[in-house]
Structure 1
Amino acid sequence: MTELSWEDKYKLITRNLAEWLGDDKLKTILKERNLKVYWGTATTGKPHIGYFTPMSKIADFLRAGVEVTILFADLHAYLDNMKAPWDLLQLRTQYYEAVIKSMLKSIDVPLDNLKFVKGTDYQLSKEYSLDLYRLSSVVTEHDAKKAGAEVVKQVANPLISGLLYPNLQALDEEYLKVDAQFGGVDQRKIFTFSEKYLPALGYEKRIHFMNPMIPGLAGAKMSSSEDDSKIDLLDNAASVKKKLKKAFCEPGNVTDNGLLAFSKHVLFPLMKEGESYLVPRTAEFGGDISFETFEELEASFKKEVIHPGDLKAAVEIYINKLLDPIRKEFNEDPKLKALSAKAYAAPQKPKPVDEIVPSRLDIRVGKITNVEKHPEADSLYVEKIDVGDPTGDRTIVSGLVNFIPIEEMKDRMVVILANLKPAKLRGIESHGMVLCASVDEPTKAVEPLRPPAGSLPGEKIVVEGYESGNPDEVLNPKKKVWEKLQADLVVNGSGEASWNGNLLLTISSSGKVTADSLKNVPIK
Structure 2
Amino acid sequence: MDIDTKINLIKEGTLEVINFEELKEKLEKESPIAYTGYEPSGKIHLGHAITVMKLKQLQNLGFKIKILLADYHAYLNGKGTLEEIEKIAKYNEKCFRALGLDDSTEFILGSTFQTKPEYTDKVYNLATLTTLVRAKRSMDQVSRNSENPKVADAMYPLMQIADMVALDVDVALGGMEQRKIQMLARENLPKIGKNPPVCIHTPLLHGLDGDEKMSSSKGNFIAIDDKESEIKKKINKSFCPIKEVDGNPIIELAMHFIFTNQEKILIERPEKFGGNLELSEKELIDMYSSGELHPMDLKNGVSKYLIEYLADVRKFMENN
Provide the TM-score with structure 1 as the length reference: 0.57
In the alignment, structure 1 residue 41 sits paired with structure 2 residue 28 = no
Give the match for residue 106 of structure 2: 115
1:191-340 → structure 2 map (5 Å cutoff): 191-220=182-211, 221-227=213-219, 229-271=220-262, 276-292=264-280, 294-332=281-319
Q: Write the letter of the residue equivalent to 2:7.
A: Y
**Distance (whole Å) between structure 2 residues aligned to residue 101 and residue 332 of structure 1:** 12
Give the match for residue 500 of structure 1: none
Q: The residue matched to 2:68 in structure 1 has which SS? A: strand
Superposition deviation, residue 258 in structure 1: 0.5
Give the match for residue 71 of structure 2: 74
1:378-393 → structure 2 map (5 Å cutoff): none
Q: Which has the higher strand share?
A: 1
Q: Write the letter of the residue equivalent to 1:326.
A: V
**Distance (whole Å) between structure 2 residues aligned to residue 93 and residue 28 of structure 1:** 33
Superposition deviation, residue 59 in structure 1: 2.5
- On the 8 A contact 2:71/2:111 being kept in 1, the answer is yes
Give the match for residue 56 of structure 1: 53
Call closer, same or farther: CA 1:122–1:267 in 2, change over 3 Å: farther
In the alignment, structure 1 residue 100 sits paired with structure 2 residue 120 = no
Q: Write the letter of the residue equivalent to 1:251.
A: I
**Distance (whole Å) between structure 1 residues aligned to residue 123 and residue 290 of structure 2:** 54
Give the match for residue 13 of structure 2: 16
**Distance (whole Å) between structure 2 residues aligned to residue 8 and residue 232 of structure 1:** 33
**Distance (whole Å) between structure 2 residues aligned to residue 65 and residue 290 of structure 1:** 36
Superposition deviation, residue 254 in structure 1: 0.5
Superposition deviation, residue 126 in structure 1: 1.9
- On the 8 A contact 2:207/2:214 being kept in 1, the answer is yes
Q: The residue matched to 2:141 in structure 1 has which SS? A: coil
**Distance (whole Å) between structure 1 residues aligned to residue 42 and residue 103 of structure 2:** 27
Superposition deviation, residue 128 in structure 1: 0.9
Q: Write the letter of the residue equivalent to 2:42.
A: G
Q: Write the letter of the residue equivalent to 1:170.
A: I
1:354-373 → structure 2 map (5 Å cutoff): none
Q: Deviations over 1:378-418 (max 9, x none)?
A: xxxxxxxxxxxxxxxxxxxxxxxxxxxxxxxxxxxxxxxxx
Q: Write the letter of the residue equivalent to 2:187.
A: K
Superposition deviation, residue 160 in structure 1: 1.4
Q: Deviations over 1:112-154 (max 9, x none)?
A: 2422222122222221122112222222222111111437575
Which contiguous aligned blocks of 4+ residues in structure 1 show a shift greater than 6 angstroms? Answer: none
- On the 8 A contact 2:66/2:107 being kept in 1, the answer is yes
Instruction: Return 5+ residue gaps in structure 2 as ranges.
Output: none
Superposition deviation, residue 247 in structure 1: 1.0
- On the 8 A contact 1:53/1:262 being kept in 2, the answer is no
Provide the TM-score with structure 2 as the length reference: 0.91
Identity of aligned residues (%): 30
**Distance (whole Å) between structure 1 residues aligned to residue 203 and residue 56 of structure 2:** 16
Q: CA RMSD in A?
A: 2.2
Q: Which has the higher helix share?
A: 2
Q: Write the letter of the residue equivalent to 1:86.
A: L
- On the 8 A contact 2:34/2:173 being kept in 1, the answer is yes
- On the 8 A contact 1:151/1:187 being kept in 2, the answer is no
Give the match for residue 129 of structure 1: 120
Q: Deviations over 1:136-184 (max 9, x none)?
A: 2222222111111437575322221111111111112222112110001
**Distance (whole Å) between structure 2 residues aligned to residue 100 and residue 232 of structure 1:** 12
**Distance (whole Å) between structure 1 residues aligned to residue 40 and residue 144 of structure 2:** 14
- On the 8 A contact 2:79/2:85 being kept in 1, the answer is no
Q: The residue matched to 1:177 in structure 2 has which SS? A: coil
Q: Deviations over 1:2-56 (max 9, x none)?
A: xx22122111111111222222211333356564311111112322222221122
**Distance (whole Å) between structure 2 residues aligned to residue 280 and residue 60 of structure 1:** 32
**Distance (whole Å) between structure 2 residues aligned to residue 35 and residue 280 of structure 1:** 45
